Amino acid sequence: MDHIESLESNYIINTYGRKPGYTPALVKGQGSYVWDSSGKKYLDLLGGLAVNIVGHCHPKVTAAIKTQAEMLMHTSNLYYSQPQGELAAMLVESAMPGGKVFFANSGAEANEAAIKLARKRNSERYKIISAKNSFHGRTLASLAATGQPKHQQGFEPLPEGFASAEFNNLNSFAGLVDQQTAAIMIEPVQGEGGVHVAEENFIKGLRELCNEADLLLIFDEVQCGMGRTGKMWAFENYGVTPDLLTVAKGLGGGLPVGAMVAAEPYVEVLQPGSHATTFGGNQVVCSAAQAVLKILREEDFLAQVRQKGYMIRTAMEEIAKQYPQLVKEFRGIGLICALELNRPVAKEILSRCTEEGVLINAIGENILRLLPPLTIVDEELKEGFRIIDRVLKEFM
């Protein structure tokens, strides 16, 4: 461990705040568990920040990676690619029949593609309205779309044409629309902002607003898509389809791949030369993603996610009731959930959970977030609840 820590402090730019003597170095994973360099085992309720949706090293995913890696890892995007085509077909058929896909390497890049498409559709319209408290990524345009000034400070001037409106407040969005507005960009469930679920009327209202004002409706499902809410796509919870959908995180099951799916009327907006990326959707990541999607399509998979989501809600609401001085409320849908605390002790609770062998996430000082693998089983969840309950008791 000393060696790993000294490599980190000597050679890695400290953007993640890892702490010597405290942050584990994870070296192995299987299913819902990971192990650190000392052999200590952790229950992973963070799931690589919503990436390890089918658990760690799922045999079907590792087999797909291995087979493809032994055959062909990468070609330029100048050539046809069967794994890319097959993955695009799976995404389009599942999310937006008639649409088409652009492959990127991350969530921010998928959002960049969506922003660029929205601007290119009509040269008069370039403004994007997103929500306050949203998170869309760290590249400059996705950062400009991110409605959290704390992430933007120090990087000004940001690209112009971005404004943010109140989440779950249709009038606030409508009030910002003008002749130059190109799109509304929204996370149906705000993840980094602390797990806030959009209301049905709000999402339906945004769809109508976009239809009336000829705006593109962009859903950023980088965190809340891919089965996370108990439906394949979060938008299915609302009976509303977006014009552009962005996906990443869980798509590759641990390999970096993002995608922007455009609905049928917009598939011609980007043309050869107008957008590209060297690695986007290479053979290995697309093979992994196909394996992930096949698992999500297995019978009852999503019904089980909903059932496990219900189990978490019941357990966490019970915990919230037990410790009202500490826990303000539970929020979530499916397997994206948060406990908001009344006191700024989220980081201390996270530290204690890590010591006790459970990985969770803290957002700021007051919010604990859980994003377990969708494949987690009931017994593992119960083990997690027991430990979280025990740790919370210490803070009473």
Using CB under 6 A, pick the residue from 55, 147, 191, 281 that binds ligand PLP. Answer: 191
Residues 234-253 that bind ligand PLP (CB under 6 A): 248
Nearer to ligand PLP by Cβ, of 114 and 320: the residue is 114
Please list, in sequence order, all residues whose beta carbon lies within 8 angstroms of the beta carbon of residue 45, skipping any fewer than 6 positions away.
358, 359, 360, 370, 371, 372, 376, 384
CA 54 to chain centre: 14
Q: Which two tokens stand for residue 54?
A: 């089918």
How is residue 118 annotated by DSSP? H
Q: Is 107 among the residues that bind ligand PLP (CB under 6 A)?
A: yes
Give kind and range of the element (H or E) at residue 68. helix 59-71
Using CB under 6 A, pick the residue from 222, 232, 286, 367 that binds ligand PLP. Answer: 222
Q: How far is the CB of 268 from ligand PLP (least distance, A)?
A: 25
Q: Name the residue with tokens 């990443």.
A: 248
Helix 283-296 × helix 59-71 angle, to 10°: 150
CA distance 203 to 208: 9
Q: Is 225 among the residues that bind ligand PLP (CB under 6 A)?
A: no
Q: Is 112 among the residues that bind ligand PLP (CB under 6 A)?
A: no
Pairing of strands 41-44, 33-36: antiparallel
Nearer to ligand PLP by Cβ, of 117 and 248: the residue is 248
Q: Which stretch binds ligand PLP (CB under 6 A): 30-38, 218-226, 284-292, 313-321?
A: 218-226
Q: Is 196 among the residues that bind ligand PLP (CB under 6 A)?
A: no
Q: Which residues pair with 367 in a beta bridge?
A: 340, 363
Using CB under 6 A, pick the residue from 56, 119, 121, 136 that binds ligand PLP. Answer: 136
Q: How far is the CB of 258 from ligand PLP (least distance, A)?
A: 6
**First-to-last C-alpha distance (Å) of the chain:** 33
Q: How far is the CB of 74 from ligand PLP (least distance, A)?
A: 19
Using CB under 6 A, pick the residue from 102, 103, 135, 266 that binds ligand PLP. Answer: 135
Nearer to ligand PLP by Cβ, of 286 and 391: the residue is 286
**Residue 130 to residues 136, 144, 166, 245, 247, Cα–Cα distance (Å):** 9, 9, 9, 14, 17
Nearer to ligand PLP by Cβ, of 50 and 182: the residue is 50
Binding site for ligand PLP (CB under 6 A): 106-108, 111, 135-137, 187, 191-192, 220, 222-223, 248
